[in-house]
Amino acid sequence: MKHILQQPIWRYYDQSISAKQRSPLESFATDDTLCQLVGQSLSPPTIRTWVHEASVVLGIQDHRLPYVQQGMELLESRGYHPIVRNSGGLAVVLDEGILNISIVLSEQKESLSINDGYDVMVELVKGLFPEVAEKIEAYEIVGSYCPGSYDLSIEGKKFAGISQRRLRQGVSVQIYLCIEGSGSQRAALIRDFYEHSLQQEETKFTYPQIMPEVMASLSELVDPNLTVEAVVIRLQQLLNYWAEEVRPQSFYDEELALYGFYLQRVFERNTKMLERK
């Protein structure tokens, strides 16, 4: 997958600081905008970094929990703001110790399979952490939150999860990397959310039974001095190595109108989801 990462031009949109106090919903709108721009060849392939303050992003199935309101109240009492995304996947934690990375590619000239998209991100992560690259594995970690076949782990401890968004011939492959803090404490938060939201009631959908001990951060697994800022610097260095040119760019004025369209759509969908309960 290195050939995909070795682009002539990478656009780089760093929101690892600027997005912190904004809603994660804005990040979903940003990636949708980039999907269209890159997919329609209006922008070069793009890598975006983003960090948000304490939030829990719930999926559609989470919002169907029988006592989800009590679960959301628990999250708020712990200092986490719950939001609902109108897509698949299950609850994930966002906070200042978690770095999110999006790789946005175009399918206009060459299609990218689901597995290819995941493999590109795995290759990127291994490039970011060469000291443990051989130890990083991709398979479902049972007992983790938002489990999936491309959970990334070291010696059975999950530190990242990958998802994809496809829109207008654009593909956004997104990862959350638990860099700082305690992975097990974040997992315990989601375990408590499910306990309060289920209250032992049987449901058609099988929600994960969280085992906090199977999750950890990279500062726990690799280097106690590892920080989000340090990983952002590693990423910038990798991009400069892979690309002939790196263009640090936020949205242009003409792109902001498209972003406004997607932002309104994301917020309207979130409002409708909240009204349904």
Catalytic positions:
146
Q: Are residues 71 and 43 in contact, defined by beta-carbon separation less than 8 angstroms? A: no
Q: Running DSSP on this structure, what letter comes out for residue 121? A: H
* Length of the chain counted residue by residue: 277
- Alpha-carbon gap, residue 73 to 78, rounded angstroms: 9
Name beta bridge partners: 174: 102, 163
- Alpha-carbon gap, residue 60 to 98, rounded angstroms: 22
Name beta bridge partners: 101: 49, 175
Name the amino acid, one letter, at 84. Answer: V
Give the CA diameter of the chain.
Answer: 56
Tokens of 206: 């099988």
Compute the half-sphere exposure of residue 164: CA atoms within 13 Å on the CB side of its CA.
20
- Alpha-carbon gap, residue 174 to 206, rounded angstroms: 24
